[in-house]
Chains A and B, each alone.
Chain A
């Protein structure tokens, strides 16, 4: 009985059915988006998000020495506690809404803000930068590969968590 089910025709039938499920399921997903009140555009134009212009490390270090800029660590509190740029404050991008109000008094409209996270693939800085710009901050800068670059340059760091 099982011989005919494991043979080539059965395999072909199985593959067809799987393909139908994938295509029909994809169609269902698109249709659901079409009628959903919180639908999103299917294709996003590449211009939708302008690429972030990164702040050079030298500039960040100079601002740090001058003391005019607010350094924000976009990583999670545990990463922040394990070490961060000296005097930086922690505003985890992933729980922005939760922590934003703690720092809100410091975020005057003309405050110069330097955001960093860690690693060249780190998304958190860009995310936090967008969120802060949405809140009306205009002088927001992202330090690329911040934590690693900062340490590699031997610039001042602080250990320990948020106060």
Chain B
């Protein structure tokens, strides 16, 4: 629960000098949490709301044996929602950021692999609401999310926060 305990300024030396930087930094960190948390709660939530459609989208990637498609399609959005929600709540932020970064790497690999096999399929990134095909746009979005989560993770590490 370090995430809850944290939030104050670095205590000991040069408090006044560090204050400006830390306040600004704290807001940037919060902003990153807010953006990433919202994106993943929404993305996961849309998939939870329509599991059948997301299962079809997962199946189209042809990366999993058919028997495992539904299992992944059901568990993955739960992880997205929980990790995003923890970021929003400010609990276990580093671990949540790590999980989200891991998810973006996973998605990136899946999209690249599908593109390399010439698959012209729906991304499934945001359930069916963002009905785009996989391509540069989805790769760019995913890479951006990875960048943001890595940035957040780095910031939390520097701030020695949980």
Residues of A in contact with B (beta carbons under 8 Å apart): 1-2, 5-6, 14, 17-18, 20-22, 24-33, 36, 38-46, 48-49, 75-76, 94, 119, 121-124
A101 CB to nearest chain B CB (Å): 20
Cβ of B67 under 8 Å from chain A: yes
Q: How far is the CA of A44 from the CA of B58 in the complex (A)?
A: 14
A contact residues around B117 at 8 Å (CB): 121
Asked if B95 is at the interface (CB within 8 A of a chain A CB), the reply is yes
Interface presence of B23 (CB below 8 A): no
In the complex, chain B residues whose CB is within 8 Å of the CB of A6: 157
**Does more than half of chain A's interface fall in helix, strand or loop, or is it mixed?**
helix
* A28–B79 CA distance with the chains assembled, in angstroms: 8
- Across the interface, do A28 and B71 meet the contact criterion of CB distance under 8 Å? no
Query: Is B78 in contact with A1, judged by CB distance below 8 angstroms?
Result: no
CB contacts under 8 Å to A, within B112-159, are: 117-122, 157-158
Task: Report whether B98 and A29 are in contact in the complex, using a CB–CB cutoff of 8 Å.
Answer: no
The yes or no answer to B52 lying at the interface (CB within 8 A) is yes
- Residues of B close to A1: CB separation below 8 A: 10, 160
Asked if A32 and B48 make an inter-chain contact with CB atoms under 8 angstroms apart, the answer reads: yes
A17–B73 CA distance with the chains assembled, in angstroms:
22
B71 touches A43 (CB 8 A): yes
Cβ A30 vs Cβ B52 within 8 A? no
Q: How many residues of B contact A (CB 8 A)?
A: 43
The one of A14, A26, A43, A124 in contact with B98, judged by C-beta atoms closer than 8 angstroms, is: A14
Question: A21 with B66: in contact, given A2-B160, A42-B74, A119-B118 (CB under 8 Å)?
Answer: no
> Do B74 and A29 have beta carbons less than 8 Å apart?
yes
The yes or no answer to B43 lying at the interface (CB within 8 A) is: no
Write the nearest CB–CB distance from A57 to chain B, whole angstroms: 19
Q: Which residues of B contact A (CB under 8 A)?
A: 10, 48-52, 55, 60, 62, 66-71, 73-83, 86, 92, 94-96, 98-99, 102, 117-122, 157-158, 160
B55 CB contacts on chain A under 8 angstroms: 40
Q: Smallest distance from the beta carbon of A24 to chain B beta carbons, Å? A: 6
The answer to whether A39 and B79 touch across the interface, beta carbons within 8 angstroms, is no
Contact A42 B48 (CB under 8 A): no
Smallest CB separation, A123 vs chain B (Å): 6
Nearest chain B residue, comparing its CB with the CB of A36: B51
Question: Chain B residues near A2 (CB, 8 Å)?
Answer: 157-158, 160
Which residues of chain A are within 8 angstroms of B66 by Cβ–Cβ distance? 44, 46, 48-49
* Chain B residues whose CB sits within 8 angstroms of the CB of A124 once the complex forms: 120
